[in-house]
């Protein structure tokens, strides 16, 4: 896989260098002050090849939509969900893998999956009430002792080979994340009764196993979950952070630990736990498990009047229902009959969008991926919702770290936009 990847990526690298050298003066966009002051939305500033987000259609990975991935990527059982290893292969190499390619990748991850003891020691040294994402980010940082890139850099490797040791770090890191995540889960919620990995299982199946869920139902959900959370082009907080930190030639462990501290924010990956927390607060405050649409509508309005957002709704880029939401909804319809939490999530889908639309300023009233994911986990007995963002974090490694290897093959420079004090912008509009 490594050399198949390099063969493809080096062609793109030549394109990158040619465009950079021959067309650097070409103007490709105008920047408005509004864009600068609202989070740089819509400015084409990054090169990311793994996936592309369309505001109306949603994410495509190397051109494939989520329904297409569910149909075309290799699966363990013909009617099951695609293996995330296959998506990783697709993002790296640009082709749908064969069953054999995916089996080889699963084996490769299994052979790299050993987590050094000091990483578990670092986790164990933290108070049990530290947030799971705090433990997860710290554990990834602690794993930087293993960085092959860092050793190669110190030994003076030529910059054209940076990609090689980055690839090794990325493969090792992805292989080890499920064990780290499961360790945190069992430590916090199952009395430190840890479960060893099973090297015969696929990457997502093994995560489910180590968390203590050996049913095919949960493994199937985890495969879907890991596929749909893997990437969302380059500008989201976790992907952009990994790219930015990586652009300083920080090793992949540093870059990914930083990305995870971004994912831990409520406007990003923390939203998946916030959704369940908010639903619980609502049913408690309304004193009913089955509120009417009118009660729910009033609660939504009250939340916004308190200056809070409705978690799981809205998006910086998307302008329609997130296809990742729809994929999970279809999964629930197929496999789950009448679950109270899922019923509430579906009720919110009916009630929230018209209210958010009426506010006027909210650009996207539709649900994002986080509106659904917690209810599925909850249904299968993973009720400890403070852990949910860690699962998002395991998955996001696939796309973000595939991009980091690309960055190194392309020889991307350090990222360094310009900043100005507020008066500079004021003078631009008011004169001095």
Give me the residues that bind ligand AMX (CB under 6 A), please. Answer: 236, 267-269, 271, 304, 309-316, 361-364, 368-370
User: Which of 268, 274, 322, 407 is the catalytic position?
Assistant: 268
315 is catalytic: yes
Burial of 294 (0-12, 13-18, 19+ CB in 10 A): exposed
Query: What are the CA-CA distances from residue 278 to residues 71, 344, 371, 374 (Å)?
Result: 34, 11, 11, 11
Rounded Cα distance between 375 and 339, Å, is: 9
- Identity of the residue, 252 or 311, whose beta carbon is nearer to ligand AMX in the bound complex: 311
Determine the residue with CB nearest ligand AMX.
314
User: Which of 274, 322, 370, 407 is the catalytic position?
Assistant: 370
Helix segments in 160-250, DSSP class H:
162-189, 203-211, 216-228, 237-247
Residue closest to 180 by CA, chosen among 212, 140, 209, 153: 140
Give the residue carrying structure tokens 């040619």.
Answer: 18
DSSP assignments along 229-292, one per residue: TS---S-SHHHHHHHHHHHTT--HHHHHHHHHHHHTSTTTTTHHHHHHHHHHHHHHHHT-SS--
Rounded Cα distance between 162 and 120, Å, is: 29
Q: Which two tokens stand for residue 283?
A: 């049913």
179 is catalytic: no
Give the residue carrying structure tokens 């494939």.
Answer: 64
Helix axis angle for 162-189 and 2-22, nearest 10°, is 120
Shortest distance in whole angstroms from residue 209 CB to ligand AMX:
26
- Identity of the residue, 97 or 311, whose beta carbon is nearer to ligand AMX in the bound complex: 311
Rounded Cα distance between 404 and 174, Å, is: 13
Shortest distance in whole angstroms from residue 237 CB to ligand AMX:
7
User: Which of 232, 240, 315, 379 is the catalytic position?
Assistant: 315
Burial of 424 (0-12, 13-18, 19+ CB in 10 A): exposed
- Identity of the residue, 306 or 338, whose beta carbon is nearer to ligand AMX in the bound complex: 306
Residues involved in catalysis: 268, 315, 370
């Amino acid at each position: 896989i490594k050399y198949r990847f390099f063969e493809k990526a080096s062609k793109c690298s030549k394109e990158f260098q040619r465009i950079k050298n021959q067309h650097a003066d070409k103007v490709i966009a105008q920047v408005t002050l509004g864009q600068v002051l609202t989070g740089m939305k819509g400015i084409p500033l990054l090169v990311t090849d793994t996936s592309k987000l369309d505001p109306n259609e949603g994410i495509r990975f190397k051109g494939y939509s989520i329904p297409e991935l569910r149909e075309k990527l290799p699966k363990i059982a013909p009617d099951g969900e695609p293996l995330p290893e296959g998506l990783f292969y697709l993002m790296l190499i640009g082709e749908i893998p064969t069953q054999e390619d995916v089996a080889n990748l699963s084996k490769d991850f299994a052979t790299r999956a050993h987590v050094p003891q000091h990483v578990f020691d670092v986790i164990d040294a933290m108070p049990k009430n530290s947030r799971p994402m705090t433990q997860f980010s710290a554990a990834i940082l602690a794993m930087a002792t293993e960085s092959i890139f860092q050793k190669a850099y110190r030994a003076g490797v030529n910059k054209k080979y940076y990609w090689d040791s980055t690839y090794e770090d990325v493969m090792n890191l992805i292989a080890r994340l499920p064990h780290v995540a499961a360790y945190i889960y069992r430590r916090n919620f199952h009395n430190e009764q840890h479960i060893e990995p099973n090297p015969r299982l696929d990457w997502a199946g093994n995560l489910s196993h180590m968390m203590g869920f050996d049913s095919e139902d949960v493994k199937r959900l985890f495969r879907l979950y890991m596929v749909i959370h893997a990437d969302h082009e380059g500008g989201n907080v976790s992907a952009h952070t990994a790219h930015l930190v990586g652009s300083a030639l920080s090793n992949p462990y540093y870059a990914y630990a930083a990305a995870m501290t971004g994912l831990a924010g409520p406007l990003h990956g923390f939203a998946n736990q916030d959704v369940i927390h908010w639903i619980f607060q609502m049913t408690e405050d309304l004193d009913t498990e089955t509120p009417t649409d009118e009660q729910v509508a009033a609660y939504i309005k009250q939340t916004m009047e308190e200056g809070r957002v409705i978690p799981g709704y809205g998006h910086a880029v998307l302008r329609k229902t997130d296809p990742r939401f729809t994929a999970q909804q279809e999964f629930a319809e197929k496999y789950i009959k009448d679950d109270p939490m899922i019923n509430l999530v579906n009720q919110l889908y009916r009630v929230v969008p018209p209210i958010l639309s009426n506010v006027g300023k909210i650009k996207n009233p539709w649900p994002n991926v986080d509106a659904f994911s917690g209810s599925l986990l909850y249904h299968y007995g993973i009720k400890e919702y403070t852990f949910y963002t860690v699962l998002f974090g395991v998955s996001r490694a696939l796309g973000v770290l595939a991009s980091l290897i690309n960055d190194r093959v392309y020889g991307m420079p350090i990222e360094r936009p310009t900043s100005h004090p507020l008066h500079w912008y004021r003078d631009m509009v008011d004169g001095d």
